Structure 1
Amino acid sequence: MPRKPVAACQDWISHAKTADGIERIEAWFQGNAYAMHRHDTYAIGRTLAGVQSFNYRRGRRDSLPGNTIVLHPDEPHDGQAGTGEGFRYRMIYIEPALFQDALGGCALPFLDGGVTNDPRLAAATETLLQGIGHTLEPLEQSDALAELAHALAAVAGQPRVRGKGDYLAARRAREYLNANFTRTVALDELEMITGRDRWSLSHDFRTYYGTSPYRYLTMRRLDAVRRMALSGVPLAIAAADTGFADQSHMTRHFVKTFGQTPGHWLQVVSAVRRA
C-alpha cells in the first residue's frame, strides 16, 4: 500500500516489510535528523528531494536528488537538511555477511567519498531502492544484493582475491553471537569455538564483517530492542531482556548507533503509523 501523506512539518520514517539481513526505509527530515553515530551495516541510499547533508570521513558531504550514498560499516556519520526545505531519501541497511555470500571471503569493498554519481552503482541499487511499498521476492533480493556487491567491488577497484584472515573462523563467531546475543559472551568462548586467539579473531571479524565482535553483539541486541519497542514492550523491559545492564545502558548504545534516543526514534517511526 502507498504511504499515507504526513504533515510536511513533521519528521517521519517509514519501514518496508522486514527481510532477512536488510532493512529498507524512506524518510523525511527538516533540520537536524541524526547526531553522530555508526552502525555495523552498509548504509546505501538515494536522495529523493532536497539536500541531504552529513559529516563523514573528515568532511561534509552533500547529496542531491539522484545521488547514491554509500556509507561503510562502523564509519561515524550524522545527518541533516542542507537547506531549510528539508530532505527526503530512501536507504537500505545491508549486513556485510550478505555481501560475503556473494564475494566468497574477499575483503569488504570500501568507497571513501560517501556520495557518488557512478552509473554502475545507480543501476545496481535500482531494485533495492524501490519504493518501500514494493515487497522484494527472495530471489529478486538475492540477485540484487549480488549485483550490488560486485558493483561496489568494481567501483572500489578491489581485486577479486580472498582477504587475509580466517573467514570460516569469523563466520563461526558470527553464528555463535547470533545465537547468544542476550547474554554475556566470554572471549574464551569465542576462542574455543573458532580456534583463533582473540586478537586474530578481531582482525578476521573486521576484515569480513566490517566491525568488531562486541559491536556486532551490541547491534543484535539493539535490533531486538527496536522490534520489541515497536510491538509495545516498555524500553526498560526490552533492555533487560536483550542483555543490557539497564535502560540507560541501552540508550547510550542506541544513540551511538542510530543518532537518536529510543523515544525520539519511536516518535518519528510512529508518525507514519498514525497518519
Structure 2
Amino acid sequence: MSLVLIAEQVLNGLQFGVMLFLMAAGLSLIFGVMGLINLAHGSLYMIGAFCAAAVAGATGSFVLALMAALAGAAVAGALVEVLVIRRLYNKDHLDQVLATFALILIFSEGTRWLFGSFPLYLNVPDILSGPVTLPGGIQYPLYRLVLIGAGLAVAGGLFWLISKTRIGIQIRAGENDREMIAALGVDIGRLYTLVFALGAALAGLAGALVGAIQSVQVGMGEPVLILAFVVIVIGGIGSIKGAFLGALLVGLTNTLGGIFLPEALKLMIEPAAATSIGASLASMAIYILMAVVLVLKPTGLFGARA
C-alpha cells in the first residue's frame, strides 16, 4: 500500500469528517439546548441539497445555490420549530421520536411531489473542478479540498459564535439552566427558534456541498443522520468541540477502516473473502469506536451529561 494512497484516504476521511460536523453540530445544539430528539434533522440536510440543485439548475450559479440551501433549510427549520417542535419540549422522548419520524415521512413525500422521484445532480463549479497537485505528488480533487477548508471555516465561525458572542452566551446558558435565563428576561421561545434554524442551516449547507459529489435524492439524509448521532454520542451531548472531534474520528475511522482492514485480512485469508469481511468490519468500526468511548467515558469525550 503506497503512501500516496494513504494520504489520499486521510484527506477523504477529513472531508467526510468536516461534512459530518456540519450535520452533527446543529443536531448537538438542538439536543443539548432543547433536550429534543430530532429524527427529522436528516430531512433538513435533504432540503438543503434539493434547494441547491434546483437553484443551480435554474441560474447556473453555485454561490446562489449555496445561499438557497442555507435559506431554505433555515426557513424550513424555523417553521418546523414554531409549528410542531414547540409543542414537544415538555413531552416524553417517545412522543418526540414519533412526531419527528412523522416529519421525515412528510418531508420525503413533499420533496418527491415537488421534484419527482428521480435524482437531481449538482455540478461542481468549473473553477473548482479537476485535481490539484499536493506535496509528494498527490493528485487530489480541488473541490474536496475546498470542502475541507469550508468545513473548517464554518467550524471556526461556530466556535466564535458560541464562545464570544451574546447569543452564544445565551445558548450555553440555555443548555445549563433554561428556567434561569427565562427568568432573567431572555425570550426562550425566540432562542429555541434561532438555535433550530441555525442547526437546520448547517445541515442544509452540508447537503448542498455534498450534493455536488453525489446524486441528490429523496432519503439521502437518513444514513447521514445515523452517523451524526454516533458523532454526538462520541463527542458528548451539547458540545461543539466534542462534535468536531467526534466527526473527525468517525470520518477517519470509516474511511481508513475500509482500506486497512481488508489489506490486513488478506495476510490471513484468501483475498476475495478478506475484501468482503473487511468491508463488513469497516462498516462496524465506527460503532465499535462509539462503544469503546462510552465504556471509558459514558458522557462522551466532552459531554457534561450522559
Hey, which of these two has a bigger chunk of strand by percent? Answer: 1
Using CA pairs below 8 Å that are at least 6 residues apart, which structure has the higher relative contact order? 2
Q: How high is the TM-score relative to the length of structure 2?
A: 0.25
Q: How high is the TM-score relative to the length of structure 1?
A: 0.28
Hey, which of these two has a bigger chunk of helix by percent? Answer: 2
- Rg larger for: 2
